[in-house]
């Protein structure tokens, strides 16, 4: 038996069980040790299927090791380690345990070689992650968490239903590539789509993530959606529909991100936007595109975590992340400001930062595969993301008008976590060869050509110019349609507005349904109390006579049925 037989996920999940036993620095060391141990376990694993468990006549594969699963395994563990460092200052056992189980189960899902194992870890991520929202212990967080977990559980149910149908119709339990013509494949795609926040299935993300604790959002940002991306890359690579789904995902959140005031919610919108790039890459399905999709997932986990970390630090120190209430924080939190700018530069794909070397692979693939329309929308989305995530976040939080807030710099552990993440972002951007070597397919793509660098810089400079001009003329937030000068005419012609309207509609519908469901549920609960409560019709203590009456009724019922 080699070490590959042991599921890496269990190192984190079983390790979580010991967290409540430790206190103080022992606990901190333990929290950091677990992801490091798991990482050490991954390094040097041979490729192949291991950890086979025989359950219910089926063979479950706990460890399917190949380049794709290893890549996600590495980055998940890096994210787990970073968020462990980031969360070290607090003593909330619930959050520590939930974060470990959550990252462990995401890891387990990545290495799952069959649909049942995938389902088990899929559900476990849902259940463990919601605790990170409820740990904030506010009424709002509780409601958002409840909506979140219900949607995630529905995603799991869809996955299970799809898998069972697939199995029943002659398929196997193996988690391999599906085509949409296969029975059950649509259900599985829908399950993956919920996790990847497909348009109209995305509302849970913006609804729930900003409600988690300052450390919880960092953990959340890394796993759930990227697990969806991994599953899509594994199961639905080359499905053409995904190109268009992804294209829509890159474009529509921009409009919302620009007018949103809660900076963590802005980041949540930019998450859907970045996921769109990955989904496009998966939809294209060529080697370059898939490489780009997973490389971008890798980079995105790091820079998105970095951005959420900087906002978490702001939330911790000032108690708010409302753009209107903040400003001028660079005086109080210079380090955090610096790290945030690194994250912003990465997500905006500045040369020498990680987004530059990964996102461009997807765009190059789109161009070379003959999808000019897709390429143009992606270009527009790149400008948009620079604008709302790259400029808006650091500008409103740390610069803009001085809000007068004077607070302390973030705690040391947070700064260390941010510094590490920032170093990784710059490292990947400056020396992409290391990341490229890990990708599923051999890489021939060269990011640093003069044409690419120049084009990207032009895009960024003009986008920045637009922002500066709009700020100076004081028309910034309301007049969003004139933000992106170059592409303004284009997205109008596309009818992106209509799409945006649809999304607004779906958002309103979602809130509407949620509100109605809650009211109906409350009514049903009260009604239920009447029947099932301790004095209710169906649950109160009965007299012996009435019990005997039921016996008589049933006996007569049987006799009549049998005799007739």
Q: Which residues of the chain form contacts with another protein (CB under 8 A)? A: 20, 53-56, 94, 116, 119-120, 123, 134, 137, 157, 164, 168, 528-529, 531-534, 536, 538-539, 541-542, 544, 546-548, 550-551, 554-555, 558-559, 561-563
Nearer to another protein, 119 or 491 (CB): 119
Tell me the β-bridge partners of 65.
48
Instruction: With beta carbons less than 8 A apart as the criterion, state whether 236 and 277 touch.
Output: no
Angle at the Cα of 266 from the Cα atoms of 68 and 337, rounded to 5 degrees: 90
Contact between 83 and 455 under an 8 Å Cβ cutoff? The reply is: no
Closest CA to 107 of 46, 52, 58, 38: 38
Residue 51 is given by DSSP the state: E
Q: Which is nearer to another protein, 140 or 542 (CB)?
A: 542
Spatial distance between the Cα atoms of 422 and 419, rounded to a whole number of angstroms:
5
User: In whole angstroms, how close is the CB of 168 to another protein at the nearest point?
Assistant: 6
DSSP string, 447-482: ---HHHHHHHHHHHHHHHHHHHHHHHHT-TTT-GGG
Q: How far apart are CA 333 and CA 353, in angstroms?
A: 22
The neighbouring-strand residues paired with 50 are 63
Burial class of 488 by CB neighbour count within 10 A (0 to 12, 13 to 18, 19+): middle
- Angle of CA points 404, 407, 411, to nearest 5°: 155
Closest to another protein by CB, 54 or 493: 54
Q: Which is nearer to another protein, 101 or 233 (CB)?
A: 101
DSSP alpha helix (H) spans, 64-184: 67-86, 93-111, 115-134, 139-168
Dihedral pair phi/psi, residue 181, rounded to 5°: -75, -15
Closer residue to another protein in complex, CB, 431/531:
531
Shortest Cβ distance from residue 174 to another protein (Å)? 18
What is the closest distance, in whole angstroms, from the C-beta atom of residue 172 to another protein in the complex? 15
CB of 232 to another protein, least distance (A): 22
- Cβ proximity to another protein: between 473 and 541 the closer is 541
Q: How far is CA 385 from CA 204, 205, 267, 391, in A?
A: 20, 17, 10, 9
Q: Specify the residue, 54 or 472, whose C-beta has the smaller distance to another protein.
A: 54
* Among candidate residues 145, 130, 46, 106, the one with its CA nearest the CA of residue 229: 106
Please compute, for residue 65, the number of CA atoms within 13 A of its CA located in the half-sphere on the CB side.
21
**What's the min distance (Å) between Cβ of 544 and another protein?**
5
The smaller minimum CB distance to another protein, of residues 498 and 564, is found at 564
Secondary structure letter of residue 322 according to DSSP: B
The span from the CA of 11 to the CA of 85, in Å, is: 18
542 CB neighbour count, 10 Å cutoff: 11
Shortest distance, position 154 Cβ to another protein, whole Å: 11
The token duo for 242 is 């995904």
Instruction: For another protein, give the closer residue by CB, 25 or 563.
Output: 563
- Smallest separation (angstroms) from another protein to the CB of 556: 9
Nearer to another protein, 14 or 174 (CB): 14
Strand partners, 55: 58
- Residue 168 or 511 having the CB closest to another protein: 168
Give whichever of 446 and 555 is closer to another protein, judged by the CB atom: 555
Nearer to another protein, 431 or 532 (CB): 532
Which of residues 16 and 363 has its CB atom nearest to another protein in the complex? 16
What torsion do the CA atoms of 400, 406, 412, 418 make, to the nearest 10 degrees?
-10
Q: How many CA within 13 A on the CB side of residue 446?
A: 4
| Phi and psi, residue 220, nearest 5° | -60, -40
**Smallest separation, CB 112 to another protein (Å):** 12
DSSP-assigned letters across all residues of 218-282: HHHHHHHHHHHHHHHHHH-TT-THHHHHHHHHHHHHHHHHHH--BHHHHHHHHHHHHHHHHHHHH
b/e per residue, 193-220, with b = 16+ CB within 10 A?
bbbbbbbbbbbbbbbbbbbbbbbbbbbb
Smallest distance from another protein to CB 65, Å: 22
């Amino acid at each position: 038996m080699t070490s590959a037989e042991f599921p890496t996920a269990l190192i984190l999940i079983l390790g979580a069980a010991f967290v409540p036993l430790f206190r103080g620095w022992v606990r901190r060391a333990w929290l950091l040790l677990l992801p490091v141990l798991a990482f050490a376990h991954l390094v040097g694993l041979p490729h192949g299927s291991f950890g086979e468990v025989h359950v219910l006549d089926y063979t479950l594969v706990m460890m399917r090791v190949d380049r794709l699963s290893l890549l996600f395994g590495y980055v998940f563990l890096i994210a787990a380690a970073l968020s462990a460092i980031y969360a070290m200052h607090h003593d909330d056992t619930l959050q520590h345990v939930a974060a470990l189980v959550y990252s462990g189960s995401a890891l387990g899902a990545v290495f799952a070689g069959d649909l049942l194992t995938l389902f088990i870890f899929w559900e476990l991520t849902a259940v463990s992650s919601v605790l990170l929202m409820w740990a904030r212990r506010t009424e709002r967080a509780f409601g958002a968490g409840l909506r979140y977990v219900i949607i995630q559980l529905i995603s799991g149910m869809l996955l299970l239903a799809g898998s069972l149908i697939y199995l029943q119709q002659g398929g196997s339990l193996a988690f391999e590539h599906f085509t949409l013509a296969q029975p059950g494949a649509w259900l599985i795609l829908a399950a993956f789509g919920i996790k990847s926040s497909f348009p109209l299935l995305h509302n849970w993300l913006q609804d729930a993530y900003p409600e988690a604790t300052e450390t919880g959002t960092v953990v959340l940002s890394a796993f759930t959606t990227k697990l969806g991306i991994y599953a899509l890359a594994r199961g639905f690579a080359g499905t053409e529909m995904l190109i268009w789904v992804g294209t829509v995902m890159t474009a529509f959140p921009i409009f919302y991100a620009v007018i949103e005031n809660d900076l963590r919610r802005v980041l949540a919108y930019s998450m859907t936007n970045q996921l769109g790039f990955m989904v496009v890459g998966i939809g294209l399905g060529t080697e370059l595109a898939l490489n780009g999709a997973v490389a971008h997932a890798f980079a995105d986990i790091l820079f998105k975590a970095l951005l959420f970390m900087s906002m978490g630090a702001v939330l911790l120190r000032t108690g708010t992340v409302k753009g209107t209430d903040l400003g001028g924080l660079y005086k109080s939190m210079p380090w955090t400001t610096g790290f945030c700018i690194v994250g912003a530069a990465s997500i905006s794909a500045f040369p020498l930062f990680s987004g530059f070397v990964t996102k461009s692979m997807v765009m190059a693939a789109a161009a070379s595969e003959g999808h000019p329309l897709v390429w143009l929308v992606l270009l527009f989305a790149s400008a948009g993301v620079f604008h709302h995530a790259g400029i808006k976040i650091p500008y409103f939080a740390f610069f803009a008008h001085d809000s007068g807030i004077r607070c302390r710099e973030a705690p040391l552990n947070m700064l260390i976590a941010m510094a590490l993440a920032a170093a990784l972002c710059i490292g990947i951007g400056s020396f992409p060869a290391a990341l490229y070597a890990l990708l599923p397919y051999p890489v021939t793509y060269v990011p640093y050509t003069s044409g690419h660098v120049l084009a990207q810089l032009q895009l960024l400079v003009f986008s920045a110019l637009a922002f500066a001009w709009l700020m100076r003329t004081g028309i910034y937030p309301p007049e969003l349609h004139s933000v992106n000068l170059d592409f303004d005419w284009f997205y109008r012609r596309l009818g992106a507005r209509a799409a945006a309207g649809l999304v607004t509609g779906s958002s309103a519908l979602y809130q509407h349904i949620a509100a109605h469901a809650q009211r109906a549920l409350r009514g049903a609960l009260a009604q239920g109390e009447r029947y099932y409560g301790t004095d209710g019709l169906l649950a109160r203590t009965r007299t012996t006579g009435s019990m005997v009456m039921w016996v008589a009724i049933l006996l007569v019922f049987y006799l009549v049925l049998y005799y007739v």
